[in-house]
Amino acid sequence: MKTSQEEKLQQLIAFDKEHQQKGCYLIGIDEAGRGPLCGPVVAAAVIIPGLDDNILESLKYLNDSKKFSGNITRREELYDYLTHSKCYYAVANGSLEEIEEHNIYQTTYLTMHKAYNDVVKQIKNKKHKVLVDGTRTIKHIPEEIPQEAVVKGDGKSACIAAASIIAKVYRDRIMRQLAKEFPEYKWEKNNGYGTKEHIEAIRLHGRCKYHRKSFKIKGLDIIDSTKK
């Protein structure tokens, strides 16, 4: 009898096979860091070129990155496998300056486009199709490239799930590094999200240079920190 995780993996793979065109690479794209109060937004684009037994064994725990909140070690292990396997992948950052200039929504899609461009170079612009997590496709990709927006795609598609893991782990590592510079915000624990502890630290210390100044926090009059 198959376990629920084995069934889940089969569902993810079956979805990709159904949406993949013959002789065409399938690119999954997802982001991490759209909602936090600080730090960059990160996008990843992933191609899983084959689904042989070795890859299936290594990806047997593949799922939406949010499903690993209670098992960060396994998410890190999947990240290490995906980034050291035969998969093609690319990661792109949307900087704080871009977020402030364009807003988080526009920056997210610009960053997805960067990741897309970088992974396409790796396959030398061979025929491909794009699956984007969310409700909208990436408008900057040429019209002749087939695209689909997949709502909650990180729980439906293997390549989007892989992209969600790479983007999430990559961004979490950035936040752990930034936490060493500003330990009072506990970013190594909250990854910049608006937890009660994080908001209280902003109340006490103000916002530092990595906070998104355009983000409003309900019920909190923020004083920007003089920390550089």
157-199 residue pLDDT tens: 999 999 999 999 999 999 999 999 999 999 999 999 999 999 9
The answer on pLDDT for 148 being more than 70 is: yes
Confidence of residue 219 (pLDDT cuts 50, 70, 90): low
90-121 residue pLDDT tens: 999 999 999 999 999 999 999 999 999 999 99
Determine the residue type at 2.
Answer: K
Cβ 114 vs Cβ 33: under 8 Å: no
The answer on pLDDT for 50 being more than 80 is: no
Share above pLDDT 90 across residues of the chain, in percent, rounded to a whole number: 67
The answer on pLDDT for 52 being more than 80 is: no
Mean of pLDDT values over 137-151: 95
Choose among 77, 46, 47, 43: nearest CA to 61: 77
Confidence of residue 8 (pLDDT cuts 50, 70, 90): confident
Neighbours of 135 (CB within 10 A): 9
120-136 residue pLDDT tens: 999 998 999 999 999 99
Cβ 137 vs Cβ 150: under 8 Å: no
Specify the pLDDT at position 9.
81
Specify the pLDDT at position 210.
97
CA dist 148 and 13 (Å) reads 16
Specify the pLDDT at position 45.
98
Domain layout of the chain by residue ranges: 4-181
For 112, residues 6+ apart whose C-beta sits below 8 A from its C-beta are 29, 31, 43, 45, 92, 132, 138
The answer on pLDDT for 55 being more than 70 is: no
Determine the residue type at 204.
Answer: L
Specify the pLDDT at position 11.
87
Specify the pLDDT at position 75.
85
Determine the residue type at 19.
Answer: H
Quickly name the fold that domain 4-181 has: Nucleotidyltransferase; domain 5 (3.30.420)
H/E stretch holding 27: strand 25-32
pTM over 0.95: no
